[in-house]
Homo-oligomer: A and B are copies of this chain.
Amino acid sequence: MVHYGFQASSLDRILRSAGVTKGALYHHFGSKLELGYAVVEEVLRPAVLGKWAPPLLRPGNPLDAIKQILQQVITDADDDALRYGSPLNNLAQEMSPVDEGFRTRIQGVLQEWRDAIAAAVRRGQAEGVVRRNVDAGKAAIFITAVLEGGYGAAKGARAVGPLKVCVEGLVYYLEALRPRVYFRGTPAADMELV
């Protein structure tokens, strides 16, 4: 399914490659859609939140935590990630206009992801390490959207390059979120990476 998308993935193929029979599937799920829902809830949600939530909850500057996660995103970007992109994003792009059940579930995961980021940003603001005139919710939306955009571009190009560029852009953006006193300390001359 990673390869062809949900709709174009034959149940027969899925089941054969999973070593499961059709009877077993329909005993548990009842339809292909419900299987897809379960994938979102049981696979994609833990995968996304497991990567982002713990670092963001840990004490310390949340901007640095995000930067470290972004670093890991680049490191983890193996061949499959490049060829097939972010599974959550793929499903979202494909199924959102088609099936409302998918859309709401995927939006739920995305919302939890953004909420984790936004909460961390707000904590940073409370702790004085993030500029106070930043809208934490918008920042979370921007960060996640740029990442998904970067995954998509990398998938299309079959190369990490575009994803790296987006991550660099995000890092630059994150630096700009620091209070001016920090910002001054970091001479603008270092920011030519964009």
Of A35-43, A53-61, A70-78, A132-140, the one touching chain B:
A132-140
The answer to whether B142 touches A145, judged by C-beta atoms less than 8 angstroms apart, is: no
For this complex, into which size category does the number of interface residues on chain A fall?
35 or more
The binding surface of chain A is classed by DSSP as helix
The answer to whether B180 touches A188, judged by C-beta atoms less than 8 angstroms apart, is: yes
The contact of A165 among B3, B84, B138, by CB within 8 Å, is: B138
Q: Give the residues from 67 to 121 in chain A that come closer than 8 angstroms, CB to CB, to chain B.
A: 83-85, 89-90, 92-94, 96-98, 103, 106-107, 110
Which of A5, A89, A166 has the most chain B CB atoms inside 10 A of its CB? A5
The answer to whether A152 touches B5, judged by C-beta atoms less than 8 angstroms apart, is: no
Contact surface of A with B, Cβ cutoff 8 Å: 3-5, 7-8, 83-85, 89-90, 92-94, 96-98, 103, 106-107, 110, 131, 133-135, 138-139, 141-142, 144-150, 152-153, 155-158, 161-162, 165-166, 168-169, 172-173, 176-177, 180, 188-189, 191-194
